[in-house]
Amino acid sequence: MDDLLARSAEELFARHADASQPAVLLEAVEEAGFLDALVPEAAGGIGLGPAEALPILLAAGRFAVRLPLGETMLARAALAAAGVAPPPGLIGLAEPWGTDAARLPPGPCPDWALWPEGEAAMLLPLAEAMPLTEASAPGGAVLRRPGGEGPRLPAAGLLVAGAWQEVAVMAGAMERILEDTLRHARDRQQFGRPVAAFQAVQQQLSVLTEDVFATRMAAQLASVAGSDGVAGLDARRVAAAKLRAGEAACRVAGIAHAVQGAMGITEEVALHRFTGRLQAARLRFGGEAYWAEWLGRQVLADDAPDTLGFVRAHLGPALPETSP
């Protein structure tokens, strides 16, 4: 199932991710049913769990998809759990920004947003939302709260859900960065031999590879459901994954640009699109400092005798099913 879904998503994004009109990609994603992947079958969705839906977001990261697909998937799942019919179009998960504004995802503005309202979130249309021009918000656009009211649902778990989908997209983007950087290092000739033949470059590539695969593993572990959060996501797993992915993003971007040199910042080479997405994802839904502090408090409050015990109890792989 995972391999089939991954191939389907990659084929779709390969055809449509670079389309000049985002509506073309959105229509293709809607037809594929990806936006309802996390919605239970009883509510008209596909009924996948986070681990099963992960390949969609990995593929979105690999092709630098600029639409908030992950946020829409999670928002529709949260709305379905609250008994609210999701509206057509894209839905962003808004992050509080001051008293009457929120940060929305980078790229084309979604049609709707789950807007934070104290302990709840309100579904609001963004057609009339105005940019907060005096605010500077790397990683997204800041909009003033639009007028009107909408359906309310509990906001608990939306921060964790947003962090999870950012980790998944980061993991996919890093895999693409690794592939492109290795190809460049093999093809680029310097002093009569490939750049990849130099020991210093090989060392950098090994660190790059380690970070990419560690982030992929973190995304997989974060996708193990076992909580009452949105789509069953576990906050501790997601916190550890967002922390690890953010730390890796700094090194991955730095090494990739160092190996590819000046070519990596040209318009003809796609590297800047992926590294820019990594930096935006680091800042959204809590950065490394936020999740490090949050996770540390969880460790101190837990009954585990030490940190290793906490990791084994809460952050390890899912136990395999056993026959009675």
Q: Work out the pLDDT band at 22, boundaries 50, 70, 90.
A: confident
The residue segments making up the domain with residue 308 are 158-314
pLDDT score recorded for residue 323:
46
Report which DSSP code applies to 320.
P
**Domain end marker among 103, 123, 154:** 154
pLDDT score recorded for residue 137:
63
* 320, part of any domain: no
pLDDT in tens, 132-169: 765 566 677 888 888 888 999 988 899 999 999 999 99
* 323, part of any domain: no
Q: Does the model's pTM come out above 0.85?
A: yes
Q: How many structural domains compose the chain?
A: 2
Average pLDDT, the chain: 90
* 324, part of any domain: no
Best mean pLDDT range from 263-267, 275-279, 290-294:
290-294
Residues 91 and 35: beta-carbon distance below 8 Å: no
- Do residue 73 and residue 55 come from a single domain? yes
Q: Work out the pLDDT band at 324, boundaries 50, 70, 90.
A: very low
- Do residue 78 and residue 218 come from a single domain? no
pLDDT score recorded for residue 19:
59
Best mean pLDDT range from 110-114, 167-171, 195-199, 279-283:
167-171
Beta strands, E only, the chain: 91-93, 95-96, 101-104, 112-117, 120-125, 141-144, 152-154, 189-190, 193-194
**Is pLDDT of 262 > 80?**
no
Residues 183 and 205: beta-carbon distance below 8 Å: no
Residue 268 vs residues 60, 62, 195, 271: alpha-carbon distances, Å: 20, 17, 20, 9
- Do residue 230 and residue 118 come from a single domain? no
- Distance between the two ends of the chain, CA-based, in angstroms? 26
